[in-house]
Amino acid sequence: MKKLVLVAFTALAIIACKKDPVEPTPTPTPAATTGTIKVEFEAVVGTSSLTFGSQQYYNANNDTFTVSMLKYYVSNIVLTKADNSTFTVANAYYIVDHNTAGKNVISIVNVPIANYKAIQFLIGVDSLRNVSGAQEGALAPSDMFWSWSTGYIMAKFEGNSPQSTATNNKLMFHVGGFSGVNNSLKTINLSFNTETANVSATATPEVHLKADILKWFTGVNTISFASVNVVHMPGMNAKKLADNYASMFSFDHIHN
């Protein structure tokens, strides 16, 4: 009996000495390091919002006109942080289409968390992509593309003017050209003035820019619709329009 009691006590002691299994320490979720920033492009005519259709406007040559289409490529975006360092958005090409609701806003993803004070972008498609063969996404051949010899249409404006001598008084400005003396690529640099776009894991700031279509027809070159009304290939007139619209963008405000 004594032996049985001793064995029982020994077994209980061994069981009591056993440690509870250790629960594994959960792996913490890595803190987010990137976010998203949106850029809205508002089409305006001077100080008024652009209205498509029958609304008449005047250019710097005092020609009257209406607008039926406005779209352009935005690419090669560079964002400047408050500390003056920069973030380059790689391989991102967008078509800003003012005729389609929501297509005037672009979303830039995987942006490092920081406060940003300026933006740089290219109006058009850079020369490398113009000679890179068949592509996908925004660069897939579409109504913003001519051919592999002439490349992409960087910006497109269509409408009508009684001063136009083209058939049905049409205005058709399809601006392209990525090399040589008639290169129409334009780099835009805009400061956010005293504001910053504050990108975080939980907040997506929206930068609001304005695009004034009157700038297509004045600035470096005053355009007369009687003499320049249809542009559908790279050349001198396309370059004139691009030299003008390079100044059409301005910063307005930011929603953080």
Band the pLDDT of 130: cuts 50, 70, 90.
confident
Residue 247 above 90 pLDDT?
Answer: yes
Cβ atoms of 255 and 208 within 8 Å: the answer is yes
Count of domains in the chain? Answer: 1
Asked whether residue 96 is domain-assigned, the answer is: yes
Q: What is the DSSP letter of 237?
A: H
Asked whether 197 and 116 are in contact (CB, 8 A), the reply is: yes
Inter-residue contact 35 to 200 (CB < 8 Å):
yes
Residues 192-209: tens digit of each pLDDT: 999 999 999 999 999 999
- pLDDT greater than 70 at residue 2: no
If we measure between CA atoms, which residue out of 115, 109, 117 comes closest to residue 90? Answer: 109
pLDDT at 148: 73
Rounded-to-integer distance, Cα 196 and Cα 81, Å: 9
Q: Go through the chain and tell me how many residues it has.
A: 256
pLDDT at res. 5: 47
Cα 155 from Cα 105, distance rounded (Å): 16
Q: Examine residue 250 and state whether it is found in any structural domain, yes or no.
A: yes
Report the percentage of the chain scoring pLDDT > 90: 79
pTM confidence score: 0.87
The string of pLDDT tens digits covering residues 215-237 is 999 999 999 999 999 999 999 99
Q: Is residue 21 part of a domain?
A: no
The fraction of the chain above a pLDDT of 70, given in percent, is: 89
In a domain, 44, yes or no: yes
Q: Residue 214 sits in which domain range?
A: 32-255
**Nearest residue to 69 via CA among 97, 103, 94, 102:** 97
pLDDT tens-digit map of 86-126: 999 999 999 999 999 999 999 999 999 999 999 999 999 99
Return the HEC string of 99-124.
CCCCCCEEEEEEEECEEEEEEEEEEC
5 located within any domain: no
pLDDT digits (tens, 9 = 90+) for 54-86: 999 999 999 999 999 999 999 999 999 999 999
Q: Report the mean per-residue pLDDT for the chain.
A: 91
**pLDDT for 172:** 98
Give pLDDT tens digits for 24-60.
777 666 778 999 999 999 999 999 999 999 999 999 9
CB 253 within 8 A of CB 189: no
Residue 135 confidence (pLDDT): 83
Q: What pLDDT score was predicted for residue 69?
A: 98
236 located within any domain: yes
Q: Where are the beta strands (DSSP E) in the chain?
A: 34-45, 48-49, 57-58, 64-81, 86-88, 93-97, 105-112, 114-123, 145-147, 151-160, 170-176, 186-191, 197-199, 206-212, 230-231, 249-255
pLDDT of res. 30: 76
Examine residue 14 and state whether it is found in any structural domain, yes or no: no
For residue 2, tell me if it sits in a domain. Answer: no
143-164 per-position pLDDT tens digit: 999 887 778 999 999 999 999 9
